[in-house]
Structure 1
């Protein structure tokens, strides 16, 4: 194992070696949850015309009070009509162009219409601009409506549609292959022997990635067998965009993954982090990005939150701001290793869990991610701030 890398250096090495996701063109109905790569530009003024905001009548504000002749009906979806007399009006519908010569819309609730005549309530006061959404009052043609890097939700897609952006340039969703290993691991639906455990890593990793639309994950479990490990690695490297592995990266007799990757892929960018849990974590850059996580449950969740999820966001171009929050208690000390502790956030405060060891998977119950406690020999009081890395949306 190479000399231990610090967590900060590890993420910097990952980002400097991880390629950006490919750019693809898709239609609007395929774009939900994708990341926009090119900005969406307003193709015309917004609104594109003076727009009536209420059903009612359109008048010129200089009109005399009394009975106004209704010259015509201005419907939505038709060109603007022209007011012929300032002492007349046009009936107008919400969303219709304001007729030429009109500078005010009076709501239908304030108008009585009888036999082609309209009378405005005596108590109602009107003025120029009332209930008119002026052309270009929101945006001018050529304005950027959606910046590159925007995650496309329902509101964003509605804006794109209104600008005529029927196709969008987005980051291609990576095809991620997950390989787990271990003779002791059986599927969740199985009945374990006393010496076996049920698989918990795959569903946790898949759920975290899918919940944020960071990739499409397929999963393979392999036994502790060198030939099976070689075949699985070669297949994944040939077919996936990104590979995630759990287990088999330490120095045990049946830990085949690290030596095989050094043979099949390039040498590790780093192998070993000065942290606990997750010290054996490794990253390979070629021929595809490969994240090799240790096998213990807390190690998997810690490395997932601290490295894998931020790296996938970086790959897709998603901003990944780090929360820096106060810790509810005195932080535990370690003179040499950064500690990644599972914790939950309540009212902006981090509450750490207390796992018995890195195999204590039940300790993550109710937790949102990991707190990073730098190595230190000096105690910091409760309320001191630390970086927090989520594995679930908060």
Structure 2
């Protein structure tokens, strides 16, 4: 099977399964998900002209006064009469502007003696000064959040202000993490000889912990065809995504592919034209997408960034599930590439993207320093310090 470009592999992965069913949740609980439908304002904000400052509601043409203070307008209430000629009203931030007033004299520029008010500073700059006009934020019927857009804290506030207490989102994806390999032991247990602590499972669980999903690490399965196949069969009924690390290459002990075939899975593609992370495998087992990642920790991290996290976003209904790239200047040279795209781990230094010196696919110590991936297309010429490159943030 030929190597697939990463973008083609991502597109084929998304095509395997539609976003998950829609459910409704309280607005505050929707943070971290994506809107399943357009969110349209049910009300106008602000509904009335409101004061943006503490002070006095006046007629601009009558400055510098004097005025007679005839009442008070507070947030949630308001003056029950209009402002007439020569009159003013005490007003507070967020309070309705009384009819007849067209500017706010802020309290720092006002002098009051009893009910007598005069302007003692520069005063308002013109009609409408310090007034938030009705509808200046949004109007009833206006689109607030487009379907497929991420819902962050600001979007929650916008939707709530627009009259929505309940939001439509996609069901949380259920993700099963499975590590394979005779050499692995659970992290924290003694290792001797050729044994290694299993770091990929905890790493993937940590990467998923900040996403809207339900991830479970199912531990380690030894290199046994029947045991791996049985694990896949069991997990297929429990998960939307089964993600494995290790065993996806071509060695005698790389059993993920034959185990999937034994369990009845359909393999869509295997191997991607990228470095690190070539042995990425995608298939379907029942209704579950199976994502096979490499066993080397850095390869697993990079491929999880480019495939696992975008797949979660896709199932949550993201309009743009692939991590965005930005253009930045390099702070050090980057070598030419061969027939695979390369994703160099790097960090920021004085606003420049600097490749890390350690690019080994098993080098976790250097990965800890990584703040970004420098994307180098296949067949690209070497870049010098100061040249521009595409960057994916790891923040």
Same fold (TM over 0.5): yes
Q: Report the secondary structure of 2:333's partner residue.
A: coil
Instruction: Name the structure 1 match of 2:203.
Output: 204
Structure 2 residue 178 is the aligned partner of structure 1 residue 172:
no
Q: Report the secondary structure of 2:179's partner residue.
A: strand
Q: Report the secondary structure of 2:208's partner residue.
A: helix
**Residue 371 and residue 102 in structure 1: after superposition, are their counterparts in 2 closer, same or farther (change >3 A)?**
closer
Total equivalences in the alignment: 386
Instruction: Name the structure 1 match of 2:384.
Output: 382
C-alpha deviation, 1:4, in angstroms: 3.3
Instruction: Name the structure 2 match of 1:55.
Output: 54
Alignment map for 1:211-222 (pairs within 5 Å): 211=210, 213-220=211-218, 221-222=220-221
Structure 2 unaligned regions, length at least 5: none
Instruction: Name the structure 2 match of 1:359.
Output: 362
Instruction: Name the structure 2 match of 1:98.
Output: 97
C-alpha deviation, 1:215, in angstroms: 2.6
Q: Report the secondary structure of 1:240's partner residue.
A: coil
Instruction: Name the structure 1 match of 2:117.
Output: 119
Structure 1 unaligned regions, length at least 5: none
User: Does the aligned pair in 1 maintain the 2:45–2:162 contact within 8 Å?
Assistant: no
Measure the CA separation in 1 of the matches of 2:169 and 2:302.
Answer: 29
What do residues 326-374 of structure 1 show as CA deviations (whole Å, max 9, x unaligned)?
553141443x44444433344242414334x533333423123544444
Instruction: Name the structure 1 match of 2:301.
Output: 301
Alignment map for 1:193-342 (pairs within 5 Å): 193-211=192-210, 213-220=211-218, 221-287=220-286, 288-316=288-316, 317-319=318-320, 320=322, 321-327=324-330, 328-334=332-338, 336-342=339-345
Q: Report the secondary structure of 2:237's partner residue.
A: helix
Comparing 279-288 and 241-250, the one that deviates more:
279-288
Instruction: Name the structure 1 match of 2:152.
Output: 153
Q: Report the secondary structure of 2:299's partner residue.
A: helix
Measure the CA separation in 1 of the matches of 2:356 and 2:299.
Answer: 16
**Residue 112 and residue 381 in structure 1: after superposition, are their counterparts in 2 closer, same or farther (change >3 A)?**
closer
User: Does the aligned pair in 2 maintain the 1:265–1:284 contact within 8 Å?
Assistant: no
C-alpha deviation, 1:13, in angstroms: 1.8
C-alpha deviation, 1:194, in angstroms: 2.2
Measure the CA separation in 2 of the matches of 1:325 and 1:195.
Answer: 42
Measure the CA separation in 2 of the matches of 1:83 and 1:340.
Answer: 66
Measure the CA separation in 2 of the matches of 1:89 and 1:372.
Answer: 63
C-alpha deviation, 1:214, in angstroms: 4.9
Measure the CA separation in 2 of the matches of 1:301 and 1:264.
Answer: 26
Measure the CA separation in 1 of the matches of 2:122 and 2:344.
Answer: 65
Measure the CA separation in 2 of the matches of 1:66 and 1:344.
Answer: 61
C-alpha deviation, 1:290, in angstroms: 0.9
User: Does the aligned pair in 2 maintain the 1:33–1:153 contact within 8 Å?
Assistant: yes
**Residue 286 and residue 112 in structure 1: after superposition, are their counterparts in 2 closer, same or farther (change >3 A)?**
same
C-alpha deviation, 1:282, in angstroms: 0.9
C-alpha deviation, 1:256, in angstroms: 2.7
Q: Report the secondary structure of 1:289's partner residue.
A: strand
Q: Report the secondary structure of 1:245's partner residue.
A: strand
**Residue 343 and residue 21 in structure 1: after superposition, are their counterparts in 2 closer, same or farther (change >3 A)?**
farther
Give me the TM-score of the superposition, normalised by structure 2.
0.87
Instruction: Name the structure 1 match of 2:10.
Output: 11
Measure the CA separation in 1 of the matches of 2:46 and 2:65.
Answer: 32
Instruction: Name the structure 1 match of 2:108.
Output: 109
Q: Report the secondary structure of 1:269's partner residue.
A: strand
**Residue 131 and residue 225 in structure 1: after superposition, are their counterparts in 2 closer, same or farther (change >3 A)?**
same
**Residue 361 and residue 133 in structure 1: after superposition, are their counterparts in 2 closer, same or farther (change >3 A)?**
closer
Structure 2 residue 79 is the aligned partner of structure 1 residue 75:
no
Measure the CA separation in 2 of the matches of 1:159 and 1:8.
Answer: 33
User: CA RMSD, aligned part only?
Assistant: 2.6
Measure the CA separation in 2 of the matches of 1:4 and 1:23.
Answer: 35
Measure the CA separation in 2 of the matches of 1:66 and 1:364.
Answer: 68
Instruction: Name the structure 2 match of 1:140.
Output: 139
Measure the CA separation in 1 of the matches of 2:63 and 2:225.
Answer: 93
Measure the CA separation in 2 of the matches of 1:368 and 1:84.
Answer: 59
